[in-house]
Chains A and B, each alone.
Chain A
């Protein structure tokens, strides 16, 4: 999957950087059935990592309990306008995507 499947925003608000991430992903639990009563295989994001200017700031391990089209907001202290935030996810079927953006002032 490519980065079109991710939307990101990184804005400084009162000195704190707010990073919002929205990922297009089915987050199938493996317990749902399709119209023909067959189980839909599990398909979900397991790992999301975020870096700030190349340093790891957040590692998130996820299970199937994260909602479809996962949404995440996290916060960084000490960031400045122009800093680079990069987010990468990996799912249980080996798919992944990465996106990076520059920090802006809110």
Chain B
């Protein structure tokens, strides 16, 4: 896609749904944060509530930190977004997924892990934040 088309696309979206466009912009400050708490703050995450309704499937021990498959599923009603953090990575924020129009709060992806760490998931639902973590032992650094 050409840059111009992309910009036109953004403009079209801006007319139709201004809120969606804000969500579509890459959160530079959050992704470039080197501490988990700073990344969370830049995502406006506050007062996290521990929840067992968040399912994290990841290996107990990852042979290769360059490719760790993670499955995250939220059973919290009205889940709007799922953020994935790896606490001990150079940049802890890995991804932020925003769901609309029938998308299920359920993703599978592959992430890099530098060392043993908690994988922390934060779910946004109706302006509240829920969290759950899973520890993964990493046998080889995947962050190069």
Interface, chain A (partner B; CB < 8 A): 16, 29, 31-32, 46-47, 49-50, 52, 55-68, 70-79, 88, 90, 94, 96-98
Residues of A within 8 A of B94 (CB): 62-63, 65-66
Asked whether any CB of chain A lies closer than 8 Å to the CB of B66, the reply is: yes
Residues of A within 8 A of B49 (CB): none
Interface size class of B (residues with CB under 8 A): 35 or more
Residues of B within 8 A of A71 (CB): 69, 108-110
Check if A67 sits within 8 Å of B23, measured CB to CB: no
Residues of A within 8 A of B3 (CB): 94
- A16 to B66: give the CA distance in the assembly, Å: 30
Partner of B111, one of A50, A65, A74, A77: A65
Check if A58 sits within 8 Å of B1, measured CB to CB: no
Nearest Cβ distance between residue B35 and chain A, in whole angstroms? 14
- A10 to B135: give the CA distance in the assembly, Å: 32
Nearest Cβ distance between residue A46 and chain B, in whole angstroms? 5
- A76 to B99: give the CA distance in the assembly, Å: 10
